[in-house]
Structure 1
């Protein structure tokens, strides 16, 4: 919703068209952008929030004594919460509780927290999956609008694409064409005017936008792989060109029809739709959980891993970990009866797109470079909210009473060819954006026809 910086380029049809495009896209996307930023900021600190809200369940006093065996901790959990064992997570650190996932008779899953030193059951929470708690589960679902169904998810995908295009158009509108020779910096990298004045809000919007543009592009592009349509196409393309999951991992063993994402709480994005292997036998005596945990630890899996129990006679144990260190991400499937590894995937095993996607996802979620990653992204999200609000305030101050105040195209001009090229390219790369462009074009044509009828 950036206003023109100076009058020199305002008369060009492309400039005015991009300004109008930027205005409507910003106005429509603003509520969703604010929601994404607020929920994203909360989710960046999900571990810290979970520890604060549920400290009595998640944190224990370290002891000098040995921890109890996993089987003993599971037995204590099942005594307190009868049901079917679904998973087990060993303590991630000396001051952490063990987590036992149990499904009750109603089919709902709970996480039972057990002190690993004395076996005392500390309590339970409804299973929030990778979010770690029911409250963070709600935040995660709100962030993707999954509560509102598939259509809302497509809307979020469209907003992500529009954020990329708005950033590009915003830079075009901001570009100091006439000010480069004069050396004027006001409204380019500094804010003019006083709070409350229209110029102040215009400059605040433009200057904030230029400084935060890189973060907008990064967050939008690293969020798109999770989207319903764009993500699937990127996924398929990565495999088609041999840069996703390398072929050959499934040659040695039969596989199930169950994708990895339905087996564990979080799967690496590039392999989430890959099948899980099957055990070499469909009967026998299952391996002991104690031995499975010992095997996984012996393979050097990073602390904080979780193990999913086999759900069928030919199923497998699946261990996975996603620490705040992207290269240590790992998934291991073990035979249900022998306890031997069937499949061991690490980040280094992925193709180029797979590794890039995992690094992008890790940084996007604040899980790559510790607290610095979280704080930098938090600052960027706060700035994006400020950018959005300043655009709304600027629009409200400049709009004529009783009018939307949308920028108008120069009289007597057609649709600029440059805008058509941009629209086609943007619509093809971001299909949900392309659909919204077509809808907007129909609206514009109808509005133009109505205006002509009124003036005829």
Structure 2
């Protein structure tokens, strides 16, 4: 008995992988389109926000020194009474200061103030890290949070399948001694042209697509949650010890600041000391964190209650300067001060990957390269849909036929199991698809024998 007889024949294996590539591609196609379009837009969120809200975000530089932080926040509170929640000093001489205020109606508003005159330039509903309500919508669409917990899990499943689609696509493209595996579009029209376009686009952009999928997964619920848990437990994500000698609250860092290092977001906030003391003045806190060397663009979050702390945080384009500082609200003592170098190895790599994913690590070049990758994802979806439409029989779905030989090499089974374990939601979807395949196969056999 030959080795080929023991294992699935190569043509059968090729058809099996083609079938799964086809089915998985159709299933995740709408999610990939959402990720690509919204991701491409969000890469330029700062440029879009600056253009759309220039009258709020920019001021005329003045020769005089800016007003004190307390004066700027007082002007904002006069214009919009409420509770001061956060203050962002002007990041540059031509930028406005931002003041976040929680109103009596329970809504948080960002007021933009000229730091030289104290004039309130206007306000927007506070959108957090996206910087504007419009970009907030784009970000929520990107993660499908508008449809609840299931949306995040669908996007996680799609990201995992994107990795496997690139891998199976390379397998289907690989020449294996035949005249396939084109590196350029050779056909001139029809379905062969779309096939070549699909193959060439995937070949040259597959690595970028895998990178985007993998660096986006830390935000997901299942995969991201386990990644965070294991990296922290191993001491290579967020190094232990920062809060070990301090009492902590149940409030995570992500609830206190708009943007913190990803690996730190779920860490508990420390608590201030004697709650019957006198809180530090905002001007004093600003002077303190600037003396500590925090870079412009930082924000200061106000203490959350009598035991809360002042938190200064910054997440700049150059993440080597990212930083989170917690100060006791009464004594002004530094309770926690960490930058990128204080994170564990995996935490630093995750931060770098996320920074590149968001298009901020290398400026415009980073944005353009990832925009092209997003455009390639749209092109892959469109070409796949056109190929399917052109090949499908009239009135049928046009799924590639089930291979007559169902035996699959053990190596491939092990790879499928490994992929399912590494991407749990992909594994779950594999089981669902396999169950459907088996039901359809058995139903077909019954019909043929009836």
Whether TM-score is above 0.5 comes out as yes
Shift of 1:267: 2.1
1:439 and 2:432 matched: yes
Q: What corresponds to 1:450 in structure 2?
A: 443
Report the more deviating stretch, 125-134 or 399-408.
399-408
1:162 corresponding residue in structure 2: 161
Structure 1 match to 2:217: 224
**In structure 2, distance between residues paired with 1:247 and 1:259:** 16
The answer (yes or no) to whether the contact 1:10–1:16 under 8 Å persists in 2 is no
State the match for 1:306 in structure 2.
299
Following the alignment from structure 2 to structure 1, what is the Cα–Cα distance between the partners of residues 255 and 120? 28
Residue 6 of structure 1 is matched in structure 2 by none
Task: Tell me, yes or no, if structure 1 residue 335 matches structure 2 residue 328.
Answer: yes
Question: Counterparts of 1:198 and 1:229 in 2: how far apart (Å)?
Answer: 39
Deviation at 1:416, TM superposition (A): 4.7
Three-state SS of the structure 1 residue aligned to 2:129 is helix
- Whole-angstrom distance in 1 between the partners of 2:42 and 2:251: 28
CA-to-partner distance for each residue in 1:55-107, whole Å, 9 max, x for gaps? 11111111111100010000000000000000000000111100000000011
**How high is the TM-score relative to the length of structure 1?**
0.95
Q: 2:88, 2:99 within 8 Å by CA — same for their partners in 1?
A: yes
| Contact 1:191–1:204, Cα closer than 8 Å, also in 2 | yes
Secondary structure (helix, strand or coil) at the match of 1:12 reads helix
Instruction: Output one character per residue of 1:196-219: Cα deviation in whole Å (capped at 9) or x when no partner.
Output: x11110011011101111111101
Residue 411 of structure 1, CA deviation: 2.0
Is it true that 1:367 corresponds to 2:366 in the alignment?
A: no
Equivalent residue number for residue 72 of structure 2: 73
TM superposition shift of 1:11: 5.7
Task: Mark the runs of 5 or more structure 2 residues left unpaired by the alignment.
Answer: 1-7
Q: Shift in Å at residue 304 of structure 1? A: 0.4
1-side partners of 2:213 and 2:403: how far apart? 32
1:317 corresponds to which residue? Answer: 310
Determine the structure 2 residue equivalent to 1:241: 234
Structure 1 residue 252, shift from structure 2 partner = 3.2
Following TM superposition, the consecutive aligned residue runs of length 4 or more in structure 1 with deviations greater than 4 angstroms are none
Distance 2:168 2:9 in 1: 14
Cα distance in 2 between the residues matched to 1:228 and 1:128: 22
Q: Distance in 2 between matches of 1:58 and 1:402?
A: 55
Contact 2:236 / 2:347 at 8 angstroms: preserved in 1? yes
1:105-128 alpha-carbon deviations (Å, 9 max, x no partner): 011100000000100000100000
Query: Contact conserved, 2:174 with 2:181, CA < 8 A, in 1?
Result: no
Is the aligned partner of 1:386 residue 2:373?
no
Report matched runs for 1:8-407 at 5 Å.
Answer: 12-179=11-178, 187-195=181-189, 197-407=190-400
Unaligned runs of 5+ residues in structure 1 are: 1-8
Measure the CA separation in 1 of the matches of 2:438 and 2:9: 23
What secondary structure sits across from 1:131 in the alignment? coil
Q: TM-score, normalised by structure 2?
A: 0.96
Structure 1 vs Structure 2 CA RMSD: 1.4
Cα distance in structure 2, aligned partners of 1:318 and 1:344? 10
**1:11 and 1:410 in contact (8 A); partners too:** no
Query: CA separation in 2, counterparts of 1:314 and 1:11?
Result: 67
| Cα distance per residue 1:183-237 (max 9 Å; x no partner) | x6x7521111224x11110011011101111111101100111100111111111
Choose which of 415, 420, 423 in structure 2 pairs with 1:422: 415
What residue in structure 2 maps to residue 3 of structure 1? none
| CA distance in structure 1 between the partners assigned to 2:53 and 2:248 by the alignment | 38
- The CA deviation at 1:407 is 1.3
CA contact (8 A) 2:12 2:404 kept: no
Any idea what SS the aligned residue of 1:265 has? coil
Return the alpha-carbon distance in structure 2 between the equivalents of residues 165 and 52 of structure 1: 38
What per-residue deviation string (whole Å, max 9, x for no partner) do you get for residues 314-364 of structure 1?
Answer: 110001001110111100001101223211010000111100000011000
How many residue pairs match? The answer is: 442
Superposed CA offset, 1:401-448 (max 9, x none): 122111123324435544422221111110000111111111111111
> How much has 1:394 moved relative to structure 2?
1.1
Q: Give CA deviations for 1:262-284 in whole Å, capped at 9, x if unaligned.
A: 11112211111111111122121
Q: Hey, what's the Cα distance between the residues in 2 that align with 1:351 and 1:253?
A: 20
Structure 2 contact 12–405 (Cα < 8 Å) conserved? no
Q: CA deviation at 1:261?
A: 1.0
